[in-house]
Amino acid sequence: METRRLGRIGHASSVLIFGGAALGECTQDEADASVREALDAGINHFDTAAAYGGSEDRLGPWMADIRDRIFLASKVTERSYDAAWASINRSLERLRVDHLDLLQVHSVCDLPTLDAVTGDDGALRAVVRARDEGLTTHLGITGHTHAAPSVHLEALRRFDFDSVLTPWNFRLGQDPAFRADFEQLVAEVQARDVALMTIKAVARRNWYPGEKSYDTWYRPFDRQEEVTAAIAWVLAHPAISGVATAGATSLLRLAIRAERDRATMTEARIAEVLGRVPDYSSPFDERMPAI
């Protein structure tokens, strides 16, 4: 699997990032099979979060064997200092590690939330303490919604984060306003040598009532040709170091094959495959659940 430099962090990171949300509701046996599949494919970057159900607990048993060969990232969703500090320490216990490679302030999607986490008693103070005390090496910020790229740009003006995890896919790229915000963010991360990772590459749209068939909060692409086109389109952007895989273990094999076969996808072919999907839309609409 291709690896790319993770900005100034310097890690040679697999372009597929194992999305730990996929382990949130599964058994340990199911988690074990998915982690093995990822490792066998060459994935060396694992991303989880305290908010992902049992994900950290499912990954914990693996750490004694693989901690020294993976890049391990987790996230904190709490907004206040005390709650964030407690969450960080719980994450380390659940993962059975003494430090993370990357700790991210999670789901910062609007300016009021950014104000809260960067305030005097906000979560940012807790993650900085974690870095200063050796509980993590690097700090990042994540989020989703249409406003995420512009919010993350503002976040970089307030604090020198090492990484950004923000939404980007073919459909969002057709939205002039979203594209403009994303391109401004790209310019800033390149100027600072900040790692840029993306989410929602294979998001097709939100679920219709009664339709849900995966644990993902959005309906994903699940046909190989569409998954390959979607991932190929995102990874064609040279500033992007990696794409988080979808939050369902059954979809991992499609992403792995997509990464392998993406060289066969020309720009015209990608546009043809994804352009003919009749209900392809942003997942950030009025049906988006509260997450």
pLDDT tens digits for range 225-260: 999 999 999 999 999 999 999 999 999 999 999 999
Reported as a single tens digit per residue, the pLDDT across 143-153 is 999 999 999 99
**Residue 29 burial by CB count (10 A; 0-12/13-18/19+): exposed, middle or buried?**
exposed
| Three-state secondary-structure class, residue 85 | helix
Reported as a single tens digit per residue, the pLDDT across 188-205 is 999 999 999 999 999 999
Q: Which of 52, 23, 51, 49 is nearest to 36 (CA)?
A: 23
| Helices 224-235 + 267-275 axis angle, to 10 | 130
In this structure, the chain runs to a length of: 291
- Cβ–Cβ under 8 Å, residues 136 and 93: no
> Over the Cα atoms of the chain, what is R_g?
18
What pLDDT is recorded for position 55?
A: 97
> Does residue 287 surpass a pLDDT of 80?
no
Q: CA–CA separation, 249 vs 78, rounded Å? A: 26
> Does residue 9 surpass a pLDDT of 80?
yes
Reported as a single tens digit per residue, the pLDDT across 32-47 is 999 999 999 999 999 9
What's the half-sphere exposure (Cβ side, CA atoms, 13 Å) at 33?
10
Residue 183 lies in a domain: yes
> Does residue 289 surpass a pLDDT of 70?
yes
Residue 287 lies in a domain: no
> Does residue 286 surpass a pLDDT of 90?
no
Residue 290 lies in a domain: no
Tokens of 250: 């059954």
Tokens of 70: 């993976």
Reported as a single tens digit per residue, the pLDDT across 10-34 is 999 999 999 999 999 999 999 999 9
Reported as a single tens digit per residue, the pLDDT across 121-130 is 999 999 999 9
| Three-state secondary-structure class, residue 162 | coil
Q: Share the mean pLDDT of the chain.
A: 97
Which structural domain, as residue segments, surrounds residue 78? 3-275
- Cβ–Cβ under 8 Å, residues 14 and 197: no
User: Could you tell me the CATH number of the domain that includes residue 69?
Assistant: 3.20.20.100
Q: How many domains does the chain have?
A: 1
Share of the chain above pLDDT 70, in %: 100
- Cβ–Cβ under 8 Å, residues 103 and 93: no
> Does residue 291 surpass a pLDDT of 70?
no
Residue 282 lies in a domain: no
Q: CA–CA separation, 258 vs 44, rounded Å? A: 17
Average pLDDT of the residues in 195-221: 95
- Cβ–Cβ under 8 Å, residues 189 and 239: yes
User: Could you tell me the sign of the dihedral formed by the alpha carbons of 10, 167, 222, 280, in that order?
Assistant: negative
Residue 112 CB neighbours (<10 A): 9
Residue 59 lies in a domain: yes
Distances (CA, A) of 69 to 6, 31, 116, 241: 15, 18, 35, 18
Residue 73 lies in a domain: yes
Residue 174 CB neighbours (<10 A): 14
> Does residue 278 surpass a pLDDT of 80?
yes
Residue 224 lies in a domain: yes
Residue 285 lies in a domain: no
What pLDDT is recorded for position 285?
A: 81
What pLDDT is recorded for position 135?
A: 98
Average pLDDT of the residues in 139-166: 98
Burial 129-155 (b: 16+ CB within 10 A, else e): ebbeeebbbbbbbbbbbbbbbbbbbbb
pTM (two decimals): 0.96
What pLDDT is recorded for position 141?
A: 98
Burial 59-93 (b: 16+ CB within 10 A, else e): bbebbeeeeeebbbbbbbbbbbbeebbebbeebbe
